[in-house]
Structure 1
Amino acid sequence: MKFLAAAGLATILLSPAASQAEDVTVQIDWLPAGDKAFVYAALYQGYFEEEGLDVTIVSGRGSSDALTKLATGSADFATGDISALFSAAAEQDIPVKAIYSIFTKQPSATVVLAESGIESIADLKGKTNAFAALSGSQAVFDHVLAKNGISRDDIELRQAEPAVLAPLLSSGQVDAIGAWVTTAPLALALLQENGKEGRVLPWADFGLEGYGLSLYTSDRMIAENPEVVSSFVRAFGKGVEFSIQHPEETIDALIASAPEIDREIALAQLEAAIPLMSNEISDADGMGALRSERLKAGWEVVAASQGYDREVIDPDELVDPSFR
Structure 2
Amino acid sequence: MFHRSLAPLAATLLMTGAAAAQTSMPFALDWRFEGPAAPYFVAVDQGHFEAEGLEVEVTAGEGSLDAIPKVATGAFPVGFADINSLVRFLDQNPGAPVIAAMMVYDKPAFAVIGRKSLGVSEPADLMDKVLGAPPPDGAWAQFPIFAAENDLDMDRITIEPVGFPTREPMLAEGKVAAVTGFSFTSYLNTMRLGVDGDDLSVILMADHGVDLYGNAVIVNTDFAAENPEAVTGFLRAIAAGWKDTAADPEAAIAALGSRNPGMDADLELQRLTLAMEQNVMTEWVMENGMGNVDPDRLANAVEQIKLTYEFQNEPDPALYFSDAWLPDDGSLTMD
Normalising by structure 2, report the TM-score.
0.86
Partner of 1:105: 107
Q: Give the 3 Å change call, closer, same or farther, for CA 18–47 of structure 1 in structure 2.
A: farther
What is the CA-CA distance between 1:251 and the residue it aligns to? Answer: 0.8
Q: Is the 8 A contact 2:146 2:208 kept in 1?
A: yes
Q: Secondary structure at the match of 1:139?
A: helix
Partner of 2:93: 92
Q: Give the 3 Å change call, closer, same or farther, for CA 256–185 of structure 1 in structure 2.
A: farther
Instruction: List runs of 5+ in structure 2 lacking aligned partners.
Output: 1-14, 327-335
Larger relative strand fraction: 1
Q: Secondary structure at the match of 1:74?
A: coil
2:273 to 271, 274, 286: 271
Q: Is the 8 A contact 1:131 1:138 kept in 2?
A: yes
Does residue 150 of structure 1 match 2:152? yes
C-alpha separation between the residues in 2 aligned to 1:170 and 1:182? 16
Q: Give the 3 Å change call, closer, same or farther, for CA 244–195 of structure 1 in structure 2.
A: closer
Q: Give the 3 Å change call, closer, same or farther, for CA 279–194 of structure 1 in structure 2.
A: closer
Equivalent residues in 2 for 1:24-63, closer than 5 Å: 24-63=25-64
C-alpha separation between the residues in 2 aligned to 1:192 and 1:312? 48
1:245 to 235, 244, 247: 247
What is the CA-CA distance between 1:21 and the residue it aligns to? Answer: 2.1
Q: Is the 8 A contact 1:19 1:54 kept in 2?
A: no
Equivalent residues in 2 for 1:69-218, closer than 5 Å: 69-93=70-94, 94-192=96-194, 197-218=199-220
C-alpha separation between the residues in 2 aligned to 1:189 and 1:139? 24
Q: Which amino acid aligns with 1:250?
A: A
Q: Secondary structure at the match of 1:323?
A: coil
C-alpha separation between the residues in 2 aligned to 1:63 and 1:112? 21
Q: Give the 3 Å change call, closer, same or farther, for CA 284–174 of structure 1 in structure 2.
A: same
Q: Which amino acid aligns with 2:304?
A: V
Q: Is the 8 A contact 1:185 1:268 kept in 2?
A: no
Partner of 2:290: 287
1:262 to 261, 264, 275: 264
Q: Which amino acid aligns with 2:83?
A: I
Q: Secondary structure at the match of 1:182?
A: helix
C-alpha separation between the residues in 1 aligned to 2:198 and 2:285? 36
Q: Is the 8 A contact 2:172 2:195 kept in 1?
A: no
Aligned-residue RMSD, C-alpha: 2.2
Q: Is the 8 A contact 2:36 2:272 kept in 1?
A: yes
Q: Give the 3 Å change call, closer, same or farther, for CA 44–151 of structure 1 in structure 2.
A: farther
What is the CA-CA distance between 1:185 and the residue it aligns to? Answer: 4.2
C-alpha separation between the residues in 2 aligned to 1:153 and 1:95? 37
C-alpha separation between the residues in 1 aligned to 2:289 and 2:197? 43
C-alpha separation between the residues in 1 aligned to 2:199 and 2:315? 42
What is the CA-CA distance between 1:282 and the residue it aligns to? Answer: 0.8
1:211-250 C-alpha deviation (Å, 9 max, x unpaired): 1111101111111211211111111111122222221111
C-alpha separation between the residues in 2 aligned to 1:110 and 1:161? 16
Partner of 2:12: none
Q: Is the 8 A contact 1:101 1:290 kept in 2?
A: yes
Q: Percent identity?
A: 28
C-alpha separation between the residues in 2 aligned to 1:133 and 1:245? 36
Normalising by structure 1, report the TM-score.
0.89
Q: Secondary structure at the match of 1:75?
A: coil
Q: Give the 3 Å change call, closer, same or farther, for CA 266–19 of structure 1 in structure 2.
A: farther
1:143-180 C-alpha deviation (Å, 9 max, x unpaired): 11121121322212232221110111122222211111
Aligned length: 309
C-alpha separation between the residues in 2 aligned to 1:251 and 1:220? 34
C-alpha separation between the residues in 2 aligned to 1:160 and 1:200? 19
Does residue 231 of structure 1 match 2:239? no
Q: Give the 3 Å change call, closer, same or farther, for CA 191–305 of structure 1 in structure 2.
A: farther
Q: Give the 3 Å change call, closer, same or farther, for CA 257–18 of structure 1 in structure 2.
A: farther
Q: Which amino acid aligns with 1:58?
A: T
Q: Is the 8 A contact 2:38 2:256 kept in 1?
A: yes
Q: Is the 8 A contact 1:140 1:301 kept in 2?
A: no
C-alpha separation between the residues in 1 aligned to 2:179 and 2:255? 29
Q: Which has the larger radius of gyration?
A: 2
